[in-house]
Amino acid sequence: SSNQMINLADVVDKYGSGELNFTCKQNIILPNIQDKKLVLKHLEDIGFSLQVSRLQWSSQACASFFCGKTKSPHAKQIVKEIVEYLESNYTKKLLDEAKFAIYTSGCRNNCCSNLLSEIGLRGSLRKNEKGELEQNYDILLQSNCKEELGLGHVIEKVVPAEEIKKKLKALLKNYFKNRKLNEELNQFLKRHTIE
C-alpha cells in the first residue's frame, strides 16, 4: 500500500542510506542497513513479516486491474487468496520445503512470466452460462515434456477463479504424499508427464 511504501522509505532513511532497490521479481532490497534486528522489527510492524512462508515472498502477479483487460478477482487478488488458503492448509515448513512460486498474469499478455514458475496462472475472460464475462485462469505446471524443459505447460484450461485454490491444494496433497525424500515441487513435476 502507499502507507507501507512511505513507512518503508522512512525505515531506509533512518536505518540505511535512504535507498530502495526493486528486483525484476518484485522484491525489495534495502541496502546499507546498519541495525538488522531493529529494521526487521520495523518491517514486521508495517506488514512485511519474514515469519511467513517462502511462497508469500516468491509468488507474484501482474497489476491486471490497472490495464482493464480483466475482471475481479484480479491477478493480485487471486495470488493473495491462494497463498492465504495454502498457508491455512499446510504448515510453513511443508510449503518452504516444496520451494515453489506462483506467477499469475490476468490476461494473455503474460506480464508476469507465468511460464517460468513451478505453477503459472494465465487469465482470460469467458462468458458464463448467463452470458456474463467472468475471470478464468489456465493452470500451467512445469512438467516432463521433452521440448522446452523448464517451461510451464497448460494442464487445465479455463478454470473459474474461485476453483483454482482447491485444485492447487489437491496438487500439493498429491505432491506431499508421493514425493521422494527432499524432492522439491519442481523436481516432482518434472518427474511426471503433462498427463
pLDDT digits (tens, 9 = 90+) for 39-96: 999 898 988 888 889 898 889 888 877 776 777 888 889 999 999 999 999 999 999 9
Grid cell listed for 154: 497448460
pLDDT at 66: 72
Give residue 95's pLDDT: 94
* pTM of the entire predicted model: 0.81
Backbone angles phi, psi at 46, to 5 degrees: -100, 10
Determine if residue 110 is left, alpha or beta; phi over 0 gives left, psi from -120 to 50 gives alpha, anything else beta.
Answer: left
Q: How far apart are CA 100 and CA 140, in angstroms?
A: 13
CA distance 178 to 185: 11
CA dist 154 and 142 (Å) reads 9
